[in-house]
Chains A and B, each alone.
Chain A
Amino acid sequence: MILLRIALRNIAATKVRTLIIGLLITFGTMLVVVGGSLLSTLDRSMARSIIGSVSGHLQIYDSGARDALEFFSPPTGTPDLGQIADFPKVKAMLEALPEVDSVIPMGSDFAMVFSGNIMDVKIAELAQAIEKGDRERAKTLAEHVRKNIKLLQESLKGLDGFVNLDFNREEREEDLANLATAASDAFWADFLDAPAEKVVFLENKIARLAMDAKMLFLRYIGTDTEAFRKNFELFEVVKGQMIPPGKRGFLFSEFIYERQVKNQVAMRLDFIKENLDSGRKIKEDPKVASRIQQNMRQYKEILYQMDARQTEQLCARLREFLSVDEKEPEKLLEQFLDMNDENFSARYQFFYDEIAPLIVLYQVRIGDVLTIQSYTRSGSATAVNVPVYGTFRFRGMEKSALAGVYSLMDMMTYRDLYGYMSPDRRAENEALKAEKGVKYIPRSEAEDSMFGSDEGGEEAAPSADSEQGPTSEVAAPPAESGSERPSTALDEFADVDMSEGGQRYGAELLNRVYPQSEIDSGVVTNAAVRLADGVDLEVGRAAVEKVLKEAGLPLNVVDWRQASGLVGQFLGVVWIVLFSAILIIFLVALVIINNSMVMATLDRTREIGTMRAIGAQRSYVLKMFLIESTVLGVGFGILGTLLGSMLIVFLGRVGIPAVSDELYFLFAGSHLYPVLLPGHLITAFVVVFVVSLASTLYPARLAARIQPVKAMGKED
């Protein structure tokens, strides 16, 4: 009691020292509490993001794999993960464990997809109108196509002045000649009376010259889509529908769909709206303003898609909306797109109400059959048709680019793209061989071999019930979109092994329902393991490793942190930084406390000598010093803990906003709500206690050794 009193008095008596030590300790404990709570919360939210989206708690893959599994590292090519031998057995074995909830087969890869260009779309619409006998519509569309051909002709001629590519000069000259033909009056004069051949000509010779086709770079995960839907609780379908169980199908990541597949003008408007919604102003934010500028230059992108009637209709509406007399569609649209903070929301509404229905808003529509081009493990190019059923996202991470990086496809399609011979593919190849014999067609001759001289081959292709050439899809679109659009991208890649089998491949397979056994039994490169509720990650991991080891299966088991790649390791780095900062602060505190206590010992030599003379034992002096620094440490430790806790509770209320896409993913949503964990409070306390004790040991021993004689004699 008296010791405490002495300690308190001494602390109060040396204000500057107390203040410095106090600040250090307060700051140090605050850092422990705040940093620890933030990181723990971040760890949880990241776990939620990563476990709940693609990785599951654990991932297993071939231990002989040449590459490590890293979901969220920048793509550097298809990682070689080997394959899980006898996946059905592994799955059965692991799912028998009480710790494991389910095992979901996976594989990730990337591919390029060329979305169709507007010419394709319009020609297809034209062909459709002709087929249905709708002459009126066909006439309008024909005019539109013709107008666009003229535009194309002009732009290609313009280009000619700049580039002089001798090596394909012939090809280019032929292209220009074809364009001239297609633009000529003669071509169109009797178009509607004898359209069939001309439509084929437009599709084969002209459409590919239009350069507004976009290349999409897609990363995707091939998986048992049904198991994926059931096990990743953050997964939800946004547009369209889920891939029906057992069927082939593709789901776009909503993020990619909205930002890459969407019409550029619309996409920019969305971007601006999002920014204005979060309080920014066009006037003040150059990033937003630049989008307005870009849109004003891109009016062609919209006009190009409209036929004369639609253009006229839109112009009338725009004149009314803008209350101007302008006649020129280009100028009208440019005026319309010149938006500012005041008129933005009205014009945004107008765009989606009046303009969007007239244009192709998404270059790949839900219900289209997408042709995905990829390189197999062996390096050969392959292409696969797969219907787009819709888009999906991970709940709470809608805005995260990282969460949206992967699109989803069924396991069978994935295997085809990855280049393993599925039974389907083998059967198809056999059938092809029997029918045609294997034939390698170099790219340069592909067009000819398909469309030019070899008309017979085309006719011979089975189930050619569409006039749109062998490259178009025939399967009924899965979503009832009603539009019989041609495959958007096939033309570019038809030269490989899709050449003749495409039709059969699409027609037959896209409607097939695969049994679970077939989904599981092919190649699986990696698999997600979802642990049962409440099972500790390490416990689950140990159980899984044990079973795999006992069965002698050479598989790597990694947790979600490792599996997520750089993102998961990011947190580890932050932990290290925090630890170092705390370590440094407390080391400094330790040195300063130690120093000031040694000084205090010297200052108080006479006082301590007096105490010793009066009858205080050494241990008493020792205690006096330890109590003094403990009071100092614990006192300011409590202050720091309190301040830190208050900060965390406050942040937990208001949330820390995710200011960038990366943070969005790490926070598993728009805000991070840090939670105060008792563990960190205890840690902070223990650290402070240990540091104050450790820093006083030496000075306290020094003090205890002061001889009582020091009290005697005159004061110095």
Chain B
Amino acid sequence: MSDVVVLSNVSKEYPLGKLVVPALKEVSLSIGAGEFVSIAGPSGSGKTTLLNLVGCVDTPTSGAVIVDGLDTARLSERDLTRLRLEKLGFIFQSFNLIAVLDTFQNVEFPLLLQGKQSRKERREVVSELLERVGLDKHHHHRPNELSGGQRQRVAIARALVTRPRIVLADEPTANLDTGTGGAIIDLMKSINETQGTTFIFSTHDARVMKHADRVIRLEDGRIVSSGDIAPNGAAGSRPELSVQEGPAPYLAGE
């Protein structure tokens, strides 16, 4: 299985006044295609920073971030934007829908940025996806007319509409109640299974983590455990394993 994301010795520091705050320290990591990976850890452990680096919206202070075989440090801002558009999908904690656009238009938006497809093709793709996320009756609702769970499903549809290699989700369920959150993770998981899209999401919710193939644990900017790479297709069989806290006892077993 090829790795879609490789991080080697990645450090990230943020200036805070006269101090320099390290957010990530010498992190190395690789994620294979089709993985459903959770990044776990307490607040301030560097989860979001890690996702931002993988999502090409931030650059590392040192080390290399390789996304789909491309070294992001060597790409221009323009190319990075292009990379995000073509290869990545984003799901945000606060949904981040464009307020003035309705459901359909929000999902269609990345396709319009790409500008590759005809109106008809776009219509088909978007409708299909909205049906898939269960919003086929909400095409013309504006974000403020939707519930939190519905909004996040629009966001998922938007993230998937370009058929990205990797979908990044930063705390996708944090603003949702438990039931809705579970449903969202189920939806992500089923897409992961049927389409083979790589999902990388951060969370500190144990119930969410248990759906992941692998849990990467961060503490103080370091990986304390990088979890397990699931044997092909068997992800569904071991979710309960990845729920385990601390260094996984199964590491040796695999």
Contacts and interface: CB of A to CB of B under 8 A. Distances in A.
B92 A712 contact: yes
Nearest to B55: A613
Given A5-B105, A712-B57, A610 B92 contact: yes
Given A614-B90, A617-B81, A9 B100 contact: yes
B84 A708 contact: yes
B83 to A, nearest CB: 8
A93 interface: no
B86 A615 contact: yes
A708 to B, nearest CB: 4
Given A614-B85, A709-B57, A13 B90 contact: no
B58 interface: yes
B39 to A, nearest CB: 14
A714 interface: yes
A321 interface: no
A645 B162 CA distance: 49
Contacts of B90: 610, 613-614, 711
Interface in B185-214: none
Interface in A699-716: 707-709, 711-715
Contacts of B98: 6, 607, 610-611
A616 interface: yes
Nearest to A620: B113
A2 interface: yes
A5 B104 CA distance: 13
Nearest to A607: B98
Interface in A156-207: none
A248 interface: no
B84 A614 contact: yes
Contacts of A2: 105, 108-109, 112
Interface in B87-132: 90, 92-94, 96, 98-101, 105, 108-110, 112-114
A422 to B, nearest CB: 87
B48 interface: yes
A712 B170 contact: yes
Contacts of B51: 712
Interface in A664-716: 707-709, 711-715
B57 A707 contact: yes
Contact of B113 (A1, A9, A614, A714): A614
A399 interface: no
B18 interface: no
A712 B105 CA distance: 21
A6 B57 CA distance: 24
A147 B77 CA distance: 112
Contacts of A611: 98, 109
A499 B105 CA distance: 103
Nearest to B158: A614
Contacts of B174: 714
Contacts of A713: 48, 93, 170
B52 interface: yes
Contacts of B84: 613-615, 708
B163 interface: no
Contacts of A707: 57
A707 B52 CA distance: 12
A716 to B, nearest CB: 9
Given A708-B57, A712-B52, A607 B109 contact: no
Nearest to B108: A2
Nearest to A610: B96
A10 interface: yes
Contacts of B108: 2
B137 interface: no
B82 interface: yes
Interface string B39-83: 000000000100110010110000000000000000001100110
A545 B52 CA distance: 75
B92 A711 contact: yes
A615 B96 contact: no
A606 interface: yes
- Name which of A1, A613, A617, A714 has the most chain B CB atoms within 10 A of its CB: A613
Contacts of B110: 614-615
Contacts of B86: 615
A705 B98 CA distance: 18
A113 to B, nearest CB: 80
A714 B81 contact: no
Contacts of A617: 78, 81-82
A122 interface: no
Interface string A593-632: 0000000000000110011111111101000000000000
A708 B85 CA distance: 12
B171 to A, nearest CB: 8
A1 B111 CA distance: 13
A528 B228 CA distance: 103
8 contacts: A5-B105, A606-B94, A607-B98, A612-B57, A614-B85, A615-B81, A615-B113, A618-B77
Interface of A: 1-2, 5-6, 9-10, 13, 606-607, 610-618, 620, 707-709, 711-715
List the 6 closest pairs (A to B, CB-CB), nearest first: A615-B85, A9-B100, A715-B94, A708-B57, A610-B96, A2-B112
Given A13-B100, A610-B98, A709-B57, 17 more contacts: A6-B101, A9-B101, A607-B98, A611-B98, A612-B81, A613-B84, A613-B90, A615-B81, A615-B82, A617-B81, A617-B82, A618-B81, A709-B52, A712-B52, A712-B92, A714-B94, A715-B93
